[in-house]
Amino acid sequence: NGTLLDGTQVLKIYVKQTESHSILVSWKVNSNVMTSNLKWSSATMKIDNPHITYTARVPVDVHEYNLTHLQPSTDYEVCLTVSNIHQQTQKSCVNVTTKNAAFALDITDQETSTALAAVMGSMFAVISLASVSVYVAKRFKRKNYHHSLKKYMQKTSSIPLN
């Protein structure tokens, strides 16, 4: 892993910093290296294929790379492949897990929250409509009762009492 046939270590990759959506890696290489490739994939994230893979060409003088737009709490394998002047390729890998996202909601949590809010809003609307209907019905009934009582009182005054 990152060594030549004679046992000389050509490169070693390290994790400098881990966040919920990014990983900062660095590496040390011998001076006879011509090119380098940085590659990582997620064993747990799938989009139309079993693994997400990204490859970037990195200049020889660059010795750190920030991997961004990663998923929180996900395992990644970060590999650096280099070629030396003799066209020998060497590879060094490191496994790393991104941190948990602070205050992040899962998509299923968001759907559950949205559904709960919709149900609560519907219940509030039904209860409000029922309350207004009861109020209007009582007011209408009272108005009609008062109106018929008024008619009755007028008729009784014209009825002789003897």
What pLDDT score does 40 carry?
Answer: 38
Q: Which residue bears the tokens 């060594």?
A: 3
Is domain 11-97 given the CATH code 2.102.10.10 in the classification? Answer: no
pLDDT number for residue 21? 85
Q: Would you give the DSSP letter of residue 3? A: B
In this structure, are strands 52-58 and 33-42 parallel, antiparallel, or unpaired? Answer: antiparallel
Q: Which pLDDT value is given to residue 128?
A: 95
Q: Is the distance from CB of 73 to CB of 99 less than 8 angstroms? A: yes
User: Considering only CA atoms, which of 14, 31, 5 is closest in space to residue 80?
Assistant: 14
Secondary structure of residue 9 in the 3-state scheme: strand
Rounded distance between C-alpha atoms, residue 161 and residue 10, angstroms: 124
pLDDT at 134: 92
Residue boundaries of the structural domains of the chain:
11-97, 105-162
Residue pLDDT, tens place only, 83-110: 766 666 777 888 888 888 776 555 555 6
Q: Is 60 left (phi over 0), alpha (psi -120 to 50) or beta?
A: alpha
Helices H, strands E: what count in the chain? 1, 7
CA-CA distance, 37 to 95, in Å (whole number)?
Answer: 17
* pLDDT score recorded for residue 87: 67
Residue 4: what pLDDT?
46
pLDDT for the residue numbered 42: 29
User: What would the DSSP string read from start to end of 86-138?
Assistant: TS-EEEEEEEEEPPPPTTPPPHHHHHHHHHHHHHHHHHHHHHHHHHHHHHHHH
Question: With a cut of 50, which residues of the chain have pLDDT below it?
Answer: 1-7, 33-34, 38-50
Which residues neighbour 64 within 8 Å (Cβ) at sequence distance 6 or greater? 16, 24, 25, 26, 27
Confidence at residue 17, expressed as pLDDT on a 0 to 100 scale? 93
